[in-house]
Structure 1
Amino acid sequence: MFGGPAVISTISPIIRRSGSRPVFAELGDENFSPSAVEMKAAVLPISPAIMPSPVLLWRFKVLLFFVWAFSCCKISWDSVMRMSADLRDLFLYEAFLYFNPLLLTTMMVWLWGVNLWVFDQSTVNYPKIFDLDQNHLTHREIWKSATWMTIIVPTSMTSYLYLYSHGEVSLAASQPVLLYAAVALILIFPFDIFYLSSRYYLLRTLWRIILPLQAITFSDFFLADILTSMSKVFSDLERSACRMVHRQVATIAWFEADSVCGSHSIAIPLVLVLPYLFRFFQCLRQYNDTREKTALFNALKYSTAVPVIGISALKYHVQPDMWTKIYRPLWLLSSVMNSLYSFYWDVTRDWDLSGPSRIFKFKSPMFFSNLFSNSWVYFWAVGSNLILRCTWTYKLSAHLRHNYLTLFTITILEMFRRFQWVFFRVENEWNKMTSHRQNPQIPMSDIPSEEDRLLGSTNHNV
């Protein structure tokens, strides 16, 4: 104590700036001197915590992602090449069946995040359209969820391929079962994690779609329309669940047509038609609430999908001659009617574009655009929507489902069509909400009010 170096209290306040010498001060310390401070600083140097920059951290995450993607591709390729050529196609088809639905759902989540990002950059107030509060999920949170889905689903698929090709059939069979069980548990998890309010909002909306016992809101219509584009996803989910229940995962016995989960199962067309039936009953409920005749014509549009799916499924239950002479022409006719009717409704009702003259009017104050300033975007939307509507009819046909790569490609194209449909559908709804207030000279007959007169609207947390 006496004659020794100055003792600095451990509770003394320490103030230091970057690039300056530390300063120690304690009231009542008689031995305080600059030399003692320098000696203490030399013994116990104090430096601020070094945190990586956000750019460096982001680059590190991207590097890890590419390493993970390369590892999954390499392991999957090696696993497939280990199998014999005659068994390889069956093996890939089964793996595709289990993981295709979740991969497509992941893609849809990514695209929905892009939709929200574009809305944020524009004047379209999508929280007001969907009747959301300030706690709704933003595009960043949607992309974060999609990132985790992008990592988890391919990792499970890679594990399935690796274990199956190395003879661990029982472990391979557990991979899709665990994956689907985890997804179901996360959706119904009752604790306040994983965006509890958003998950329950989604479940409540799905319940109102299945049982439209109360007034239909715009979000109910909107999500039900998206579900019609995912009808094949639900069909594959049903077939996957059937195999899991009957313990047929990682086997090829189910390829027999007369098996429980075979390709001739009546459950396949029933699940395909369910989203259209849900939307059909929504339209009937809307007509009951509003007495708008437009709702009946909308219901008629969704009913045209039933013959396409039903007649296609008859191929497995009628003679080949009858299919060629009678049912195939009927299927082609119903397909053309469904495609053209759906295209007409998209352009004239959902988007409120009655033709080229209407598209050009988006440059005028009367029919303004909040998303795109160039009219060619609307011409592209109209043309591509017509083409993709016709290709989607191919996807609804049960007798054409054996070429799974072609069907997977068509499903991706349909999701892209729905992705661009979202822009113009939401923009049209926002225009209807604001055009009359900003332009009172517009006659009310020019403003479609398909959902404006719906009864009631609740505020949801998303």
Structure 2
Amino acid sequence: MKFGKEFKREMVPEWIEAYVDYTGLKQILQEIRRFKESNQPPTPATSLDRRLALYRNFSGLNLQGSVQSTSDIENQVIAVNTVPHENYRKFYKTKFLASPEGAENEISFFDKLDHEFNKVNTFYKDKVDEVMREVTLLNKQMDALIALRIKVMDPGFNAFPSLQSLSLDINNSTPSRITSPLRMTVVVHFQILHCQCADTDDIPVSPSFDPTDGRQVSMTNASYPKLPINRNSLRENRDTDSQKTDPLEILDHVKIVNTFESPISTIRGVLSESKENDLSYKKEELKKVEHRLKLIFIEFYQKLRHLKHFSYMNLSAFSKILKKYEKITSRKAARSYLKMVDNSYLGSSEEVTSLLDRVETTFIKHFSQSNRREGMKILRPKHKREKHRITFMSGFFSGCSIALLVAVILLRDDRKLIDKDEGTSYLDKIVPLYSFYAYIVLHMLLYAANIYFWRHYKINYAFIFGFKQGTELSYREVFLLSNGLAMLVLAALLMHLHMNSRAEVYGTHIEYVPLGLIMVLLSITFCPFNIIYRSSRWFLIRCVFRCICAPLYKVTLPDFFLADQLTSQVEAIRSLEYYICYYTWIKPSHGHNMCQRHNVYNIFYFILAIIPYWFRFFQCVRRLFEEKDQAQAYNGLRYFLTILAVVIKTAYVLRKSLTWEVLVILSSLITTLFNTYWDIVVDWGLLRRKSKNKFLRDKLILHHKSAYFTAMVLDVLLRFAWLQLVLRFNVHSLRGSTVSSIFACLEVIRRGMWNFFRLENEHLNNVGKYRAFKSVPLPFAYHEEDDHKEE
């Protein structure tokens, strides 16, 4: 693979603007090449010259290579100097030592190269500074964690005498015996994250730490690895022995930060109006703190890895592009420039590499019980590999589904079910049973298409949705699941039509095939065994549960994204109600018309239609009070108006009258216009007046602007297609419940299109803020400043 393609493939999607513009630099080099070819055409070498060159290269007597290597630095045509800049940072500027003919393109090349290098170097320096600030916070968090562990596991432990004797043992370089591993942890628990590595010695540290084990441990220099400890810090502690305090006193200055991530914590937070709680010193509290700090360390480690890879890829890019420059221009410039690159912060900084080792050691010691293999599995999860059998089975299932669909259509035409009244009545009874699966399969197919295009355009959907690395489904796997479900449903439908195609034989055991199918689907969904993508299934179940419990859970993007999907599956939810009515309340021979005669059915027909919108409304209310964002108030109002429109529309369907028809037209028109504006302007970020791209946004991922205008037009049309469904326009070529099913499918298609542009806008927001990692709230809040003020 060429370096340019590899460089583009290995970029962190959210940091793409911070990388060197390798493609732009190559374009300038191509212009230089064309200029040289047009002004200095190469003279063809004779056969004698070629033979002599061959002998010179391989004779072993040619000293040109060695002479060139010793005098290469003297033949450089550029000089790189530092220029003053704000914030006392070094910026670099390249100057040509000579003015060769036609060097304008070469000057512009180095100007752009300087700009790109200063951009990369500044970004890297800022990110490393940010990491170092996070290290300070993590140090304090780990201090509190270790103290809390001691307090919970060994309440009678007195840390101060043990620390004093241990410090003396370290200073004298003698082995020490500790009566509890918890005491050892107080001293060495987080020294590995300190970045002040000057004047460091080695301290013997136990390789295993179990806070629940109270057995004595013995340490010797020969049997344990060594960790760097700041000798100056220990010496200062020894000299100021009288000023030492008990490390457990840190617990008097911290409180637990309540993130309101559960219904109980949310209710307590509303009643107490406090986001911080005093420590209770319970094991449950300790587990929660350890779990949250574990997630913080995983995200912090991933950030360090990305920074290290960012440095490596950009350094390689500068080296590659300078070699191309020398090859095209035959000028010596790489050594001078690369010497500057090596001496810069980007090329010489070792903080990230050092922190990586220390975070690994800390995580393994404190969060994986000193099991390095298990710890590294968590810190460095393996990427998923595409399996050939997934592609094969997807093709096989799709072929079977197409064949079964053709068979269903031919059987329907052969039995002439549409032309007969009894056939139309029969279809009205079974279409709601199978349309439920049609909505799900269509939604899954569109989701698979979305994943394909998200990956193609480098939209980091896995990070946006918060999938655990290595567990996210690819488009092939979603396509496999959707085609497998479609094959089962079409096979059941074909069998259903073949056995019960006439009204007089209606009512056999074949009517329970759809019910058995839905039981199989639910069994697979809630299967506790590690089969059929268990992690993804449980992720979906958790999101659904959080939607149902809104606003008692903190709202995340997967939660409201899923709730938006449910608003487009109202007909599928109503199909579940029809299942209950069809198999419990009425005889199979009566069907849908009999269900509508039950008042309970009609009441739930209202309720089920508005449930998804209530989910979103309560989520907007939660975000309004948490984030103090006024946009959530307008968003909540939008869903409340949609609820009113759905209620009025449902009442009109059940009891048609002129008054209800007028109300339907007004409510549906207002709701449709409001939702359309929100889709295009807020969710997609389009129709910007002051934008480089007219009526679009400044940053676009798709290369063709016409795709955005087409999507906007289609969104308006499909929104008003839903309005036509509200008004119940008659289509003479279609009969029965098929019309409502078709319009429901159009709404699912609109949602699938909305998904792509919604995530594109979210990704571009992350890119603009260089947000490539999840922010996990810290478990402890310090109150040192408050204590000082009180004193």
* Residue of structure 2 in register with 1:419 after alignment: 752
Partners of 1:405 and 1:270 in 2: how far apart?
23
Instruction: Find the aligned partners of 2:557 and 2:395 in 1 and give their Cα distance.
Output: 40
CA distance change for structure 1 residues 149 and 317 in 2, over 3 Å: closer, same or farther? closer
Cα distance, 1:356 vs structure 2 = 6.4
CA shift for structure 1 position 89: 0.6
Match of 1:286 in 2: 623
Q: Secondary structure at the match of 1:383?
A: helix
In 2, are the aligned partners of 1:161 and 1:172 still within 8 Å (CA)? Answer: no
Once superposed, what is the RMSD of the aligned Cα atoms?
A: 3.5
Higher relative contact order, structure no. (Cα contacts within 8 Å, ≥ 6 residues apart): 1
Aligned to 2:555, the other structure's residue is in SS state: coil
User: Which letter does structure 2 place at the counterpart of 1:407?
Assistant: S
- Partner deviation per Cα, 1:196-222 (whole Å, 9 max, x = no partner): 111111111000011122211101111
Is 1:387 matched up with 2:728? no
Is the Cα–Cα contact under 8 Å of residues 623 and 632 in structure 2 kept in the other structure?
A: yes
For residue 602 of structure 2, give the secondary structure of its aligned residue in structure 1.
coil
Q: Give the letter for the 1:143 counterpart.
A: F
Change (3 A) 1:180 1:353: same
Amino acid at match of 2:477: E
CA change 1:107–1:88 in 2 (3 A) is same
Q: Which runs of 5+ in 1 are unaligned?
A: 1-52, 439-451, 458-462
TM-score by length of 2: 0.45
Query: How far apart are 1:82 and its partner, in Å?
Result: 7.5
1:279 is displaced (CA, Å) by: 0.6
Deviation at 1:396, TM superposition (A): 5.2
CA distance in 1, matches of 2:569, 2:584: 23
Q: Partner residue of 1:100?
A: 435
Matches within 5 A, 1:438-449: none
Please tell me the residue identity of whatever aligns with 1:376: S
Aligned pair partner of 2:540 in 192, 202, 211: 202
Counterpart residue number, 1:219 = 558
1:87 to 402, 422, 427: 422
Map residues 103-252 of structure 1 onto 2, 5 A cutoff. 103-134=438-469, 135-165=471-501, 167=505, 169-212=507-550, 213-246=552-585, 248-249=587-588, 251-252=589-590
Pairwise CA distance, 1:72: 3.9
Counterpart-to-counterpart distance in 2, 1:102 and 1:397? 25
Take 2:542 and 2:431, find their aligned partners in 1: how far apart are those partners? 30
Question: How much identity, in percent, do the aligned residues show?
Answer: 23
- Cα separation, 2, equivalents of 1:99 and 1:235: 12
Q: Which amino acid aligns with 2:609?
A: L
User: What is the deviation of 1:244?
Assistant: 1.6
In 2, distance between residues paired with 1:374 and 1:73? 38
- In structure 1, the residue matched to 2:700 is 369
* CA 1:66–1:424: 2 relative to 1, 3 Å: closer
Structure 1 residue aligned with 2:787: none
Deviation at 1:188, TM superposition (A): 0.9
Q: Could you tell me which residue of structure 1 aligns to residue 148 of structure 2?
A: none
CA, structure 1 residues 400+234, in 2 after alignment: closer, same or farther (shift >3 Å)? Answer: farther
Distance in 2 (alpha carbons) for counterparts of 1:294 and 1:453: 23
Please report how far the alpha carbon of residue 194 of structure 1 lies from its aligned counterpart in structure 2 after TM superposition: 1.3
The change in CA–CA distance for 1:70 and 1:345 in structure 2 (over 3 A counts) is closer
The alpha-carbon deviation at position 107 of structure 1 amounts to: 0.8
1:83 to 1:384, Cα distance in 2 relative to 1, 3 A: closer
Amino acid of the structure 2 residue aligned with 1:238: E
- Which residue identity is paired with 1:221? F
- Specify the code of the residue in structure 2 equivalent to 1:170: T
Q: Is the 8 A contact 2:586 2:594 kept in 1?
A: no
CA separation in 2, counterparts of 1:357 and 1:400?
44
Shift of 1:183: 1.0
Match for residue 47 of structure 1?
A: none
Larger radius of gyration: 2
Amino acid at match of 1:118: F
How far apart, in 1, do the equivalents of 2:757 and 2:741 lie? 25
Once the two structures are TM-superposed, the CA of residue 144 in structure 1 deviates from its matched residue by 0.6
In structure 2, what is the equivalent of residue 41 of structure 1? none
**Deviation per CA, 1:372-400, whole angstroms, max 9, x where unpaired?**
11111111111111121122234456899
Contact 2:398–2:483 (CA<8 Å) still a contact in 1? no
Give the partner amino acid of 1:181.
Answer: M
Q: Once the two structures are superposed, what CA deviation does each residue of 1:220-257 show, in whole Å capped at 9, x if it has no partner?
A: 111111111111221122112221222533x1255147
TM-score using structure 1 length: 0.74
Alpha-carbon displacement from aligned partner over 1:299-321 (angstroms, at most 9, x marks no partner): 00011112222223334776x6x
Q: Distance in 1 between matches of 2:418 and 2:591?
A: 18
Q: Deviations over 1:337-379 (max 9, x none)?
A: 100000111111101113466481699xx82222x11111111
Residue ranges of structure 2 left out of the alignment (5+ in a row): 1-388, 779-791
1:234 & 1:200 partners in 2: Cα distance? 20
Q: What corresponds to 2:742 in structure 1?
A: 409
Change (3 A) 1:368 1:91: same
For the Cα contact (< 8 Å) 2:391–2:476, is it kept in 1?
A: no
